[in-house]
Structure 1
Amino acid sequence: MYKGIKKKAAILFSTVLLAVGVAGCGGAGNNNGETVSKGSNASETGSGSPVTLTVEVFDRGIQGQPDLNNNAWTKYVNEKFGKPNNAIVKFVPVPRSQEVDKLNVLMAANEAPDISFTYDGNTVTRFAKSGGLYTLDELLEKHGQQLKSYLGEKVLSYGKYEGKQISIPGKRTLIAWNGMFIRKDWLDKLGMPVPTNRDELYNTLVAFRDKNPGNVDGVIPWATAASGMNYTFGNLIPSFWGPMSEEEFVTTTNWLKPGTKDAYKWLNKLYNEKLISPDFALDKTTKQADADVTNGKVGFYAANWDYPLSQKIREPLKQNAPDANYVAVDTFKNDEGKYLKEMYNENGIFSFIPKSSKNAELAIKYLNWMADPEVMYFLQFGEEGVNHKLVNGIPQGIAQTGENMQTSNLNMDYTLIVNGAELGDTEKNVRTYAAALAAGDQSYEKLAVDSYKINTTDGYTGFYYGVSNEASIKYGKTLGDMNKQMSDRLVVAKPAEFDALYDKLVKEYMDAGGQAVQDENIKNYRDVKAQSK
């Protein structure tokens, strides 16, 4: 179908368009391109007053969470890194849900932590364009060899702008993205097989609606929520795509790809036949969808590949509907018999050093220290017998409260150079991640392992241009908001009005910057191809 595209096909980063507008960066002065700020000599000599290195940490608002700046993990950091470097590592909590907005304020006020981070690559690029970040090539060469070796050139390349290293991307060890899940116990009651294509899924959803195998009040065949939240349409849209050249596949906005309109028309049909959550477009927090799933009302849903294992889903579902048995399913097959799925690229979170920092050298030393396998293992898993136990060679977490509690899976908020379990082997990483989420429940561990395998089959990853798309930076916030609104409006539209509405919304989208983004991606794509010849 896609000429020249292999199993991990390229796709346009900016079609996702999740960029968030960023305020101007302070501290730029005329020093754009400066690379080193040594700060106090105390960290070099081990004498004098300790240097305070500030490091961002997400505040996820977890009930019962410990002091994010004083717990088992921060004590380990200060004991093992701080003391040998005559430094005090101070963690600066930033609300996870407001992290970009908070970074904007901190950067503008020259108060951002020495090591700051975000998942939004466009935000980092904007900071760099404004001269607000250190370039890190010299620092990495001098103090980051262990870090460079662990991440590798490919991962590091995602943190470059205009050929210079402006951030340190974390290595993403698990690259699955969306997943799809169906009530196997409902299928068994109906005597129906697990669906393997769109037609079979449609028939299954109709049976869920009409026969209500769970005997619940207000059965919901397919649960979802407002666009841009945890719930998605899985890999439905790509299953409708028609033939494209590699360039078209990479550079064309999803709204103009052949088949996307038909995909939304199919979803519109399902919605108008009451097969999809009736008020999903109003559910902007996913609370309603989560409640429907955990109350045992939902037959099928699509979300992150590991979503069923999250605490807010797994435990309430077991309490409210103990017989519910969700299994991972692969049901959106294209005309070529493939199950195309977008996967994450190899990079995760972006750590960077603001120009206002006086401790850039120490910051790189800290990230380099974290690349030590012994350090990384402890930060992810803690002490055996206290924080984890080994089961068949796989560390399984022991539920903790107080200072030993991890507020993010595998302590990812304290392990900035890696996203996901790191045991040096993908299979072990998946099993470890699944065990950490499932808290000893083997059925959920199997669900996670199955979901990961399904959602990395026929997968494609983002095309790396090596340069930023300036139009995407400029129009990204507007287009990202439009993407969400368009999707919701098209699904709930009256069938007779769908075609005209689709054409109208897509034109508005292209006029609002979509065309500029697409044109620039075509140019950048052709430049990459020309350079590779």
Structure 2
Amino acid sequence: MCISVAALTIASSILAGCQSNSPSGAQDGKASTQDSKASAPKEHRTLTVEVFDRGKPGQPDLNNNFWTKYINDNFGKQFNATVKFVSVPRAQEVDKLNVLMAAGEAPDISYTYNQGVVYNYVQQGGLAELDSVLKQYGPTLTKYLGDDVLKYGKFNGKQYSVPGKRTVLAGSNTFIRKDWLDKLGLPVPTTSEQFYNTMVAFKEKNPGNVTGVIPYGYSLQPQNPGLGYVPEAFKPSNLTEEQFATLQPQAIWQANWSMPGFDKAVQYMNKMYNAGLISPNFATDKDGKLLDADISNGKVGAFQTNWDGPYRTAPGTYANLAKNVPGAELIPIDPWQNDASKHPKNGYSPNGMYIIIPKSSKNVDLAIQYLNWMADPKVTLFLQNGQEGVDYNMVNGVPKQTGTTNTGEKMMTVANNLDYDILSNGIELGDQQKNNAAISAGYPGYEKEAENALKVGMTDYYTTYFYSIPNAADAKNNAELRNLSAQMLAKLIVAKPAEVDSLYKTLVQQYMTQGGQAVQDEYVKNYKAQNGK
């Protein structure tokens, strides 16, 4: 897996706040787990658990609502504990967690999506080692996650994190205006060359009859600067495992300057720009809002976004487009065919967030018992959906929401209630086909479209190489290199075609000098160490 993180320094006071992680409240080395009938510990304890505050209008008290009451009425009573939720602003979660960790005040169960942050805590000695406690208190938990997910929480051969399980692995899709294709009598493009020719037709014939037509909508966003799936069409299919691991160490939708074929993908985008085929203000549309508006207003012929992007209620791209342009139709397509006639798509790794337990915690055993309790399918079903017959009805084995969890104390501030059901990053019904059906049902009015989009998004799926050894050089240089990559892409895409090759070499050399080479060298070193070479 790639390690793409901002450079972070954790205060040395993490170590000062560390205490023994020996379980408290255990009786004769044993404690009640969900799989045993042992009585609850006599000593009442308070387990603190992080919860994201997403600032959703109308959200209930995050420490006192329908879901927290269910947790305390069930897990709390069974284990003689009170579960207290500590809210952390979603947009500032890393900064806030760093402060709490440095002060030795982080919740017993904390989490982040940032592997580099976890790695830094491990290096500072700030996390509890979980191998023995997982074996003793987490049988249901370890069975649910399996080795393929748990390995993402191992550092230096030891388990320091419990990764959540990602149930949807699709990354992005390319969408196109099918009504424009139909109007021009054009087939769905299946190669990069066909896609380019289709964009030329969109520009010249303007099937939408709009002012300022944009054949291919594109936004260069500094957080993840890249070219979407375009590089898939130019990357050789015969890379060795070592080349794949060290030359494409991060998601392909981000800039991979050493990856074979990436220069060709840049040339392709440059050609499109100079032909007037992409968003003219792509470099300044840093949050993608201008692109969303252009799509919604019917100006854009094709674009790339999350696999389900158009069907989401926010920003409501498809709904707004249909309202503004009656008869407009978007479909996902597969134009980035490689030299093996495949349409590879770099999706997400099977792990979700990184759940961690600070070494300062006195409740390491209870924290694992909590996660073990949550891994029970019945608990997962309730936390993600609520009460059957009230909050949802089961239709063909799939829960169909009634709308009661949209407001009030039952409000879910995020889909599938994943801020409370932290083990499952996505709907979890114990069967992938049921999961897919449930996922599609989560887009009212677009159920069939979403189901098809998920299918397209998983065609020739793969994920990045899994590194058990984090890349410290990447953690140190990542923020600077991302900013530099965004600047490089902006310059290269707008450059004169004849100057792209020489400019590419000059800028990549600068990138390597400013940290890129150090990052790549460490990937090579880590790959060899991991594989005993």
TM-score (normalised: structure 1): 0.90
Please name the residue that 1:429 is paired with: 435
2:156 matches 1:156: no
Whole-angstrom CA distance in 1 between matches of 2:434 and 2:9: 38
Please name the residue that 2:331 is paired with: 327
Whole-angstrom CA distance in 2 between matches of 1:67 and 1:82: 19
Whole-angstrom CA distance in 2 between matches of 1:118 and 1:504: 37
2:426 matches 1:420: yes
Choose from 77, 97, 100 the match for 2:94: 100
Unaligned runs of 5+ in 1: 1-11
Choose from 277, 282, 285 the match for 1:280: 282
Please name the residue that 2:362 is paired with: 358
Choose from 128, 136, 139 the match for 1:134: 128
Please name the residue that 1:409 is paired with: 415
Q: Deviations over 1:130-151 (max 9, x none)?
A: 1111111122122111111111
What value does the CA root-mean-square deviation take over the aligned residues? 2.5
Please name the residue that 2:78 is paired with: 84
Q: SS of the counterpart of 1:300?
A: strand
Q: 1:288-437, aligned counterparts within 5 Å?
A: 288-312=290-314, 313=316, 314-399=318-403, 400-436=406-442
State the Cα distance separating 1:315 from its structure 2 match. 3.7
Whole-angstrom CA distance in 2 between matches of 1:285 and 1:412: 25
State the Cα distance separating 1:492 from its structure 2 match. 2.8
2:215 matches 1:221: yes
State the Cα distance separating 1:317 from its structure 2 match. 3.3
Whole-angstrom CA distance in 2 between matches of 1:482 and 1:112: 34
Please name the residue that 2:253 is paired with: none
Further displaced range: 113-122 or 252-261? 252-261
State the Cα distance separating 1:38 from its structure 2 match. 2.2
Amino acid at match of 1:354: P
Q: State, as a whole percentage, how many aligned pairs show the same letter.
A: 50
Q: Is the 8 A contact 1:177 1:305 kept in 2?
A: yes
Whole-angstrom CA distance in 2 between matches of 1:507 and 1:317: 43
Please name the residue that 1:6 is paired with: none
State the Cα distance separating 1:269 from its structure 2 match. 1.4
Please name the residue that 1:486 is paired with: 488
Whole-angstrom CA distance in 2 between matches of 1:204 and 1:153: 45
Q: Is the 8 A contact 1:24 1:127 kept in 2?
A: no
Please name the residue that 1:7 is paired with: none
Whole-angstrom CA distance in 2 between matches of 1:317 and 1:392: 32
Would you say how many aligned residue pairs link Structure 1 and Structure 2?
Answer: 512
Q: SS of the counterpart of 2:242?
A: helix
Q: SS of the counterpart of 1:350?
A: strand
Choose from 13, 20, 32 the match for 2:2: 13
Q: Deviations over 1:240-281 (max 9, x none)?
A: 013533212221253122211111011011122221111122
Amino acid at match of 2:189: P
State the Cα distance separating 1:232 from its structure 2 match. 6.3
Q: SS of the counterpart of 2:169?
A: coil
Choose from 52, 62, 66 the match for 2:60: 66
Choose from 489, 509, 512 the match for 2:511: 509
State the Cα distance separating 1:415 from its structure 2 match. 1.3
Further displaced range: 129-138 or 218-227? 218-227
Q: 1:219-298, aligned counterparts within 5 Å?
A: 219-228=213-222, 233-242=227-236, 243-253=238-248, 254-298=256-300
Distance 1:229 1:264, change over 3 A: same
Distance 1:462 1:263, change over 3 A: same
State the Cα distance separating 1:211 from its structure 2 match. 2.3
State the Cα distance separating 1:19 from its structure 2 match. 4.1
State the Cα distance separating 1:231 from its structure 2 match. 9.4
Q: Deviations over 1:482-506 (max 9, x none)?
A: 3333233322333343223211221
Q: Is the 8 A contact 2:18 2:360 kept in 1?
A: no
Whole-angstrom CA distance in 1 between matches of 2:273 and 2:97: 39
2:98 matches 1:111: no
Whole-angstrom CA distance in 2 between matches of 1:386 and 1:487: 51
Q: SS of the counterpart of 1:414?
A: coil
State the Cα distance separating 1:205 from its structure 2 match. 1.4
Distance 1:235 1:60, change over 3 A: same
Choose from 18, 22, 43 the match for 1:36: 22
Amino acid at match of 1:347: N
TM-score (normalised: structure 2): 0.90
Q: Is the 8 A contact 1:52 1:87 kept in 2?
A: yes
State the Cα distance separating 1:369 from its structure 2 match. 0.7
Q: Is the 8 A contact 1:21 1:477 kept in 2?
A: no
Whole-angstrom CA distance in 1 between matches of 2:200 and 2:114: 39
